[in-house]
Chains A and B, each alone.
Chain A
Amino acid sequence: MTPLAASRPGSPEAPNTRDWHGWALDRAPFLVACLMLAVIATIYGSKQTGVFTLDELNLDTAAAMTLMLAATGQTIVLIRGGIDLSIGGMISLGTVIAATRFTDDPATVLFWSLAILALGLAIGALNGLLISVLKLQPFLVTLATWSILNGVAMIILPTDGGSVPGWWIGFGYLQFLGLSSPVWMLVALVVFWWWFRSTRLGITIQATGSNEKSAFLSGVSITRINVTTYALSGLFAAGAALYLTTQTGSGSPTIGKDYILPSVAAAVIGGVSLFGGRGHLAGTLVGAFILTLIGNLVFVLKISSYWQPVASGIILLLSVLASSIADKAARGRMR
């Protein structure tokens, strides 16, 4: 007769030890992603020696880091319930500015690095402002800014080229305690997330993505949250651009588009909901690893590299399917 009967998860009479079944269902997409990563790593390891070594971790993380940075920003936007396509334009523009402005002088590099980060922040804030003030779809607004940024990148540097100092390229090979700088960046991202998601800002972004109307009724300024969310995404995209130049050593006005959909895919594979409110960076990072390792796998299996997007697509479908099944199961348990 009372809705507060025992055996329901919300009731205090429910056993206090968290029941593992519900726990696993809640994290199903993430667990499935981890499983997929393990399977892919195992296959990779059986075809290639030295996969389960620090060297390999250093290499793979270095290869995945641009995507990881871009996907971190994307994850924040997705949890807000939006999407940011403009990161593609920002990444291109960032590499192009770096490749044309960086000199051997560290002070110049520092100045332009900060300028690129500031630009990312500003472009992101502009995205957020356009979305809130004009009440436009995030998809369309960021599609437009992507195109604009892309065009500007083309104007600055029409073809791949330019250069960055040699010591800048060496960044990825720096090591500390046997771990390369990209691995330490990965650690930093995890620490950042652990902190960020329990700040008021992190909770408010999640809440706004979960239910915008309720958040508004609770006093959240939707405009402010949008501006902050997209600014963070722009900042991470700018960071991704800077990192990318340490890998490529040059600028490219078209390279950014390679990160737009993979950044969304990495997040979704890791269990971030496209409808907002749910997801963690850990899942996204696992997703980014998966997408990167598929490339390696295709290489060691000696099959055509055209199979890489096919495999990525199948994995994306499997993840979406897994989270949908888990969602239904979890809802079934509530009844």
Chain B
Amino acid sequence: MDLVVAKGLSKRYGGIVALSEATFSAHAGEVHALLGENGAGKSTFIQILSGAVRHDAGTLKVDGADYRPTDPDDAQARGIAAVFQELSLIPDLTVEQNIWFRREPRTLLRTVDRAQLRRRTREMLDRYEFPPLRPDVELRRLTLAERQIVEIAKGLAKDPRVLILDEATSALPAREAEWLLGLTRRLASEGRLVIFISHRMAEVRAIADRLTIFRNGRTVAAHEAGGVSDAEIVTQMIGRNLDRLYPDRVATATERVALRVTNFSSGRLDGASFSLREGEVLGVGGLQGHGQRELFQALFGASPATGTVELWGKPVAITSPRAALTGPDGIALVPEDRRGQGLLLTKSVRENLTLAVIRRFTERGLLSSRKEAELVREMVDFLRIKAQTPDQLAGTLSGGNQQKVIFGKMLLTQARVLLLFDPTRGVDVGTKGEIFQLMRDLAAKGYAILFHSSDMPELVHVADRVMVLRNGRVAAILEGEKISEESILGAAMLEGEAA
């Protein structure tokens, strides 16, 4: 009999459908993999299962009984524990305090029984052959990998019947990841159900008994792990939906290198090297959290980095956004968080456009409004920004038009290397098309564009070349015919291939 069964499970966040009539079933003693692209609904599903969010419709049964957890405690009481990717650990508590948080053994005085806490921790760490950890160290002193291991210990300490591992291996180095895979099999053989989410196909292949594939909030397929090929899985994850959303790709790249980056590291980004040419759109792909954000932030000088950067053939030190924007051929960023980082929502379109270049409109310290108005009008026309007047507040524009204002702001800086981080996120389809066309137009004018999108088809259809990042390194640079969703996902997920 199945331990966990979901039917018609749905969840909306405002207007966005995160999960739409998803189905799922898994039984005790198996490792069940969940697969799907970013945003396919996997995370929502496990959040519902673990009591972090509540579903809007559908039924969920555990052991044949209705299950509708109100909070994580409730889920835990029914034997379901989740190891979140987004860590649930407390930085200022020690390792052992974290593992047993809110379930500490107590003395007669109702204080935590430290001796017993230590003994229980040791017992569990030994029993499951955990990588070495010191139980009395505060969590904030640990590395990300060590924290992930503590998170796993915390999940296991609840002795759950269902353990959910959400990309638990992604933060772990090879040896520890190997240990976790072994642990997963062992937990299944103890009669537990392990729901395993990973973007690494090899891992899924190594340990999963069955797998369920999500796409766009729906369950697409469920398979016995033995009965399906990698290619079938990838096809089912991507699906088929090609529109005429994309402009024709005309090769406009010249031989001149605009940006050469060598051995570039910052945070998760770990020694990336590549070059971007004048007139080229270079896509940056890969699974989320593999260094894309760090690359864009560091190239714009918003976070520190090591390695060398050559701009138009000259080595440069980009230590701040101001340094990035300086000079006629600098680097400009369209940031990820449009409303937080890119725009002043309570200022007008005009003020937003000219904020970064205010000095160009000043004469002897005074603002020359005539000059400013002229440029603003040109930019509004060029970008077809739909605002009633240039004095309309930016916050009152639609998402797409806000994004255009940010483009305009960037173009006015006279930077010629453009970093576009997910520029179409939350933008309506019509405006998306315009933005893609704009990108190609800018490339034709000699701009060099580095373009990240969380939506893979955009990379496939807009970029001249696509660079795939995996674990902070360049896993592949795909060109021409070789660019496809399959090849990008392949390079992003499969270890040791296509590199």
A residues with a Cβ closer than 8 A to B are: 1-4, 8-14, 195, 198-200, 203-204, 206-207, 209-211, 213-215, 217-221, 277-278, 334
Contacts and interface: CB of A to CB of B under 8 A. Distances in A.
Contacts of B30: none
Contact of A217 (B84, B112, B146): B84
Contact of A1 (B73, B97, B173): B173
Contacts of B89: 211, 214
Contacts of B56: none
A139 B66 CA distance: 43
Interface string B65-90: 00000011100100000001011111
Contacts of B86: 213, 217
Contacts of B72: 217-219
A198 B112 CA distance: 6
Given A2-B173, A219-B102, A12 B132 contact: yes
Interface string B86-101: 1111111100010001
B64 to A, nearest CB: 25
A213 B90 CA distance: 9
Contacts of A215: 90
Contacts of A204: 102
A200 B112 contact: yes
Interface residues of B, number: 38
A4 B131 contact: yes
Contacts of B109: 195
Contacts of B131: 4
Q: Is the interface of B mostly helix, strand, loop or mixed?
A: loop
Contacts of A199: 110-112
29 contacts: A3-B143, A4-B131, A4-B146, A9-B137, A9-B141, A10-B142, A10-B143, A13-B132, A198-B111, A198-B114, A199-B111, A200-B104, A200-B110, A200-B112, A206-B93, A207-B93, A210-B90, A210-B91, A210-B93, A211-B90, A214-B87, A215-B90, A217-B52, A217-B72, A218-B88, A218-B101, A219-B72, A220-B102, A277-B92
A12 B126 CA distance: 14
B90 A214 contact: yes
Contact of B92 (A200, A206, A213): A206
A10 B91 contact: no
Interface of B: 52, 71-73, 76, 84, 86-93, 97, 101-102, 104, 106, 109-112, 114, 131-134, 137, 141-146, 173, 175-176
A9 B137 CA distance: 8
A4 B97 contact: no
B134 A12 contact: yes
A206 B176 CA distance: 30
Contacts of B142: 10
Q: Top 9 A-B pairs ranked by shortest CB distance?
A: A217-B88, A219-B73, A210-B92, A277-B92, A198-B111, A12-B132, A3-B143, A207-B90, A219-B72
Contacts of A221: 71
Given A10-B142, A199-B112, A4 B91 contact: no
A303 B475 CA distance: 71
A33 B102 CA distance: 32
B146 A207 contact: no
Given A3-B145, A11-B134, A14-B134, 12 more contacts: A3-B143, A4-B145, A10-B137, A12-B134, A195-B109, A198-B112, A200-B104, A200-B110, A210-B91, A211-B90, A217-B72, A219-B72
A334 B90 CA distance: 18
A102 to B, nearest CB: 34
Given A3-B143, A4-B131, A207-B93, A200 B88 contact: no
Contacts of A1: 173
A18 to B, nearest CB: 9
A10 B175 contact: no
A203 B101 contact: yes
Contacts of B137: 9-10
Given A1-B173, A10-B137, A277-B91, A219 B146 contact: no
Contacts of B97: 203
A232 to B, nearest CB: 16
Given A1-B173, A3-B146, A210-B92, A10 B111 contact: no
Contacts of B176: 2, 4
B141 A2 contact: no
Nearest to B137: A10
A266 B407 CA distance: 49
Contact of A203 (B71, B112, B143, B146): B112
Nearest to B171: A3
Of A2, A206, A214, which is in contact with the most chain B CB atoms at under 10 Å from its CB?
A: A214
Contacts of B91: 210-211, 277
Nearest to A202: B111
Contacts of B104: 200, 203
Contact of A10 (B84, B106, B141): B141
A207 B92 contact: yes
A297 to B, nearest CB: 34
A217 B72 CA distance: 7
A2 B133 contact: no
A2 B175 contact: yes
Contacts of A206: 90, 92-93
A65 to B, nearest CB: 25
Contacts of B173: 1-3
A13 to B, nearest CB: 7
Contacts of B106: 200
A110 B137 CA distance: 46
A10 B143 CA distance: 8
B243 to A, nearest CB: 37
A4 B72 CA distance: 30
Contacts of B73: 219
B107 to A, nearest CB: 9
Nearest to A217: B88
